[in-house]
């Protein structure tokens, strides 16, 4: 629909930005921190771009005051960050590491002192290696108790200071990459195990949301999901069916569980038919049904366009573009379900990610209609090459990207969608898990090249000042 006038953003709208512990903190082995699965995984040759690691990252651990000062000058209303489980419980449970905990106390206090709302992610992929060694981490139901224990400690520690909590970040990404694509820890390719692991993560998510509400913690909690709406390449009914299949397997499979506590009928039927069904008890069903998130976090970057993919000549998993060489990514799909194809109506980044702001509006509309739940945009951003020229970074392409997506949010809100806030990915440049330091997302340039050399000096980009103006006008002046 086309509106004659768009609604204004509410006065309490959370204009923010985001990061993740492993990607920004560095200090990977100081002050009692334990080893995470990523600390070990990045040391396997060939797993990351040019063998880059998060050992130093952008040294946010030692420079957080400098970073918060930049946030304050920019006018951020909120900052979404994750807590490294291994800084709190180096072995995953047991003795609390007070030095690690103090870092987050200091960070939260620094944010609040400058009127910036902390939005805390409990899990952004850096599982304690000790739990992986002891019982294979997410492959065991034991992870549920340990995750709830860790989360409960944080709830009780920060209950008077943190109002917004993200339970799991992008469960769909860390499970698929970890157990299907082998590009994240533990680096396996086992489709049936993937579905079992994903079920354990669903149980852990439900259990921790229930614990949050049982403890009557002031505030709100919800998972963060990487959602890219699926389109059919055309009106051929088989291609439409393929897009429906992709939406079921890559959207409803997670969001239906989060919001309804039930797995999609079509997916469950397929898993049983193909010998992929995971173990699920009656108690599991009750737990999933009992958990009610307060909002749904959405990480939005792109849409997917689909076509039919037959058993006879269908394609399977293709190679991802992790080099930044445009056009090097390959099509992928599941025979008998769908395949991704190129959308001729959108542009792409150098990493072959489709740029589709209207897709964000479509996605928000689908969520509002299907789930009737408030949404918080927990990530949205453009990863590109940024060049430092005469002490400045003129990233007009990022401004155009963010501007068009903010407008899409405004249109969705005028359509009737409730959106709590908008967090760009990312605040500073940081380590991109598989793309190293060459792929930059931040408002703030960090002097760190793709070989991990640099001064780590912070330099605001043109987009930093543009977003400052957006916040000042509460989104009225784009």
Catalytic residue from among 247, 379, 384, 411: 379
Phi, psi for residue 250 in degrees, rounded to 5: -120, 5
**Cβ pair 232, 177 in contact under 8 A:** no
Closest among 145, 15, 135, 161 to 466, alpha carbons compared: 15
Q: Does residue 186 have a cis bond before it (omega within 30 degrees)?
A: yes
Distance CA 243, CA 82 (A): 33
Lookup: tokens for 180: 């299907």
Catalytic residue from among 25, 117, 132, 170: 170
User: What sign does the CA torsion over 48, 49, 55, 58 have?
Assistant: negative
For the question of residue 145 being annotated catalytic, the response is no
Phi, psi for residue 88 in degrees, rounded to 5: -90, -55
Closest among 302, 174, 310, 193 to 242, alpha carbons compared: 310
The 8 Å CB, 24+ separation contacts for 249-257 are: 249/334, 249/337, 249/338, 250/172, 250/304, 251/227, 253/172, 253/198, 254/171, 254/172, 254/202, 254/225, 255/225, 255/227, 255/296, 255/367, 255/370, 255/371, 257/202, 257/288
For the question of residue 476 being annotated catalytic, the response is no
Q: What amino acid positions are annotated as catalytic residues?
A: 170, 379
């Amino acid at each position: 629909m086309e509106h004659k006038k768009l609604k204004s953003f509410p006065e309490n709208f959370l204009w923010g930005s985001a990061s993740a512990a492993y990607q920004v903190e560095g200090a990977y082995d100081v002050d009692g921190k334990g080893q995470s699965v990523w600390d070990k995984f990045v040391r396997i040759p060939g797993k990351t771009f040019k063998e880059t690691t998060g050992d130093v990252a952008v040294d946010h651990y030692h420079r957080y005051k400098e970073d918060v000062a930049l946030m304050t000058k920019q006018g951020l209303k909120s900052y979404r960050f994750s807590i490294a489980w291994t800084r709190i419980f180096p072995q995953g449970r047991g003795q609390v590491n007070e030095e690690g905990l103090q870092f987050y106390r200091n960070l939260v206090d620094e944010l609040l002192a400058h009127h910036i709302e902390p939005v805390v992610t409990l899990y952004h992929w850096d599982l304690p290696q000790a739990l992986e060694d002891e019982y294979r981490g997410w492959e065991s139901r034991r992870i549920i108790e340990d995750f709830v224990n860790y989360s409960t400690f944080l709830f009780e520690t920060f209950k008077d200071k943190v109002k917004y909590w993200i339970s799991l970040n992008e469960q769909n990404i860390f499970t698929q990459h970890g157990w299907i694509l082998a590009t994240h820890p533990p680096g396996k390719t086992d489709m049936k195990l993937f579905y079992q692991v994903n079920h354990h993560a669903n149980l852990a998510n439900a259990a921790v949301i229930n614990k949050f509400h049982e403890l009557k913690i002031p505030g709100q909690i919800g998972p963060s999901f990487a959602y890219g709406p699926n389109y059919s390449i055309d009106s051929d009914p088989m291609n439409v069916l393929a897009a429906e299949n992709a939406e079921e397997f890559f959207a409803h499979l997670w969001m239906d569980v989060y919001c309804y506590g039930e797995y999609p009928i079509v997916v469950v039927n397929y898993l049983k038919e193909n010998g992929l069904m995971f173990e699920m008890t009656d108690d599991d069903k009750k737990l999933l049904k009992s958990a009610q998130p307060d909002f749904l976090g959405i990480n939005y970057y792109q849409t997917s366009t689909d076509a039919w993919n037959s058993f006879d000549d269908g394609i399977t998993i293709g190679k991802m573009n992790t080099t930044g060489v445009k056009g090097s990514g390959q099509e992928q799909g599941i025979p008998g379900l769908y395949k991704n194809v190129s959308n001729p109506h959108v542009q792409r980044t150098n990493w072959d990610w489709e740029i589709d702001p209207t897709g964000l509006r479509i996605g928000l509309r689908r969520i509002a209609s299907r789930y009737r739940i408030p949404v918080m945009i927990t990530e949205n951003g453009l990863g590109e090459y940024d060049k430092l020229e005469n002490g400045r970074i003129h990233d007009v392409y990022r401004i155009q990207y963010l501007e068009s997506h903010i407008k899409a949010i405004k249109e969705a809100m005028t359509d009737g969608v409730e959106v709590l806030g908008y967090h760009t990915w990312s605040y500073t440049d940081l380590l991109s898990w598989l793309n190293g330091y060459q792929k930059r997302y931040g408002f703030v340039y960090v002097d760190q090249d793709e070989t991990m050399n640099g001064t780590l000096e912070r330099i605001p980009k043109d987009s930093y000042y543009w977003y400052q103006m957006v916040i000042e006008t509460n989104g009225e002046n784009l």
